Copies of this chain bind each other. A is one copy, B any other.
Amino acid sequence: MTEQRRGLSRRGLFGLAGAGVVGAGLGTGVTAAVAQGSSTDSGAAASYPFFGDHQAGIVTPAQDRLHFASFDVSDISRNDLVELLSDWSYAASRMTAGLGAGSYGPANGPYDSPPDDTGEALDLPPSGLTITFGFGPTLFDDRFGIADRRPAALIDLPHFPGDALVDNLVGGDLCIQACSDDPQIAVHAIRNLSRIAFGRATLRWSQLGFGRTSSTTRAQVTPRNLFGFKDGTANMRAEDTAEVTKEVWAHSADGASWMAGGSYLVSRKIRMTIETWDRTSLREQETVIGRTKGEGAPLSGGTEFTAPNFAALGRADVPLISTDSHVALAHPTNTGGATMLRRGYNFVDGNDDLGRLNAGLFFICFQRDPREQFVPIQLNLAKNDAMNEYVRHVGSGIFAVPPGAAEGSFVGAALFDA
């Protein structure tokens, strides 16, 4: 059944229709985890459908592993771009259902062509894989006839004070966020989508991550970042449907109607100077963060989920929570209500030539309008955050994440409607 669609697209890879691929009881709601497979580990067997009103991987409970990739589109036509998005959507619908991108053998046999799947995820359960596609500002230049459909919210990010961006870690025409509880599954997804894009789009930068830096459900223990502090205590929760509707999903009334039900993704690769941090006193660390290291309680007292009291004063009438602490600057009560859905991951990319771990936070957030959410929050942090002494923003991206694809269609179809 899963092999009934054998027609390849013009590039000799995949075609459009996804018939029969994810129909087998997977439903279409983006938040419903469907257990399948024979693994005894229910986490590994978790599966999220690809098709639906919203793309998966936004409000989906954050999986443990990330492979994020940014692509530059080659010198191809508008039709070729549509075909690429169709091929990607088809392959993504298969992989998120626990299937290969195609057959691990050549779909049309015999043995004398390359396999349609690279094979390293054979025998493995879907492991909660989600694949989320986004469109960068440069996709809306004059190449594909969509310049007039660029959403106003898909801005070029401003320069932030202290930015130390590295050219080849910035931007991209397209992005793919692959999340899974198994790194081999996330890597397999990006690898096969890169392979399918051969000749049409090229990897610009990519990032692996682990752990979770936002607790997207209140039921979880709040994960810790590589500063060793709980990260995400006061963040928006993915199950707060009313807040997600108001703050995460784009609406028709926002303009760019093809984006209704989509969202805007901002990514920042934030290197931490952890060797310096590790030689800093606990007092300094807690002052910078504004919370205790063990419990994660605000320095104004209480426990982790006690609301911070920014007015509380200590000795010499100094605020217990420093005004330039991260929690003071980032807390929704101090950002004029601006908030975002965070979905970041820790990373370690080996070490640099000085023997320092190349480590930090790959920050990802989703929001309805970066002009009102990420940008003002980050401007304030970049100017004032005491944490700036210990971080360096080296990578950056902004992408319009279209709504979910209808079954048999592809991600972003409405953008290309005549």
A114 and B280 contact, CB distance less than 8 A: yes
Stretch with Cβ within 8 A of B (4 or more), from A206-214, A244-252, A310-318: A206-214
Asked if A348 lies at the interface with its beta carbon under 8 angstroms from chain B, I say yes
Chain B's nearest CB lies how many Å from the CB of A409?
27
Asked if A392 lies at the interface with its beta carbon under 8 angstroms from chain B, I say no
Query: What are the interface flags for A77-120 relative to B under an 8 Å C-beta threshold, 1 for contact and 0 otherwise?
Result: 00000000000000000000000000011100011111101111
List the number of copies, as a whole number.
Answer: 2
Asked if A132 lies at the interface with its beta carbon under 8 angstroms from chain B, I say no
B353 and A286 contact, CB distance less than 8 A: no
A349 and B348 contact, CB distance less than 8 A: no
B184 and A118 contact, CB distance less than 8 A: no
How many angstroms between the C-alpha atoms of A228 and B283 in the bound complex?
49
B357 and A221 contact, CB distance less than 8 A: no
A203 and B113 contact, CB distance less than 8 A: no
A355 and B122 contact, CB distance less than 8 A: no
B111 and A282 contact, CB distance less than 8 A: yes
Query: What are the interface flags for A385-411 relative to B under an 8 Å C-beta threshold, 1 for contact and 0 otherwise?
Result: 000000000000000000000000000
How many angstroms between the C-alpha atoms of A111 and B348 in the bound complex?
28
Asked if A142 lies at the interface with its beta carbon under 8 angstroms from chain B, I say no
How many angstroms between the C-alpha atoms of A227 and B278 in the bound complex?
39
Question: Which chain B residues border A208 with CB–CB below 8 Å?
Answer: 208, 348-350
Question: Which chain B residues border A203 with CB–CB below 8 Å?
Answer: 351, 355-357
A283 and B198 contact, CB distance less than 8 A: no
Asked if A204 lies at the interface with its beta carbon under 8 angstroms from chain B, I say yes
Given contacts A203-B355, A221-B123, contact A228 B115 (CB under 8 A): yes
How many angstroms between the C-alpha atoms of A311 and B235 in the bound complex?
64
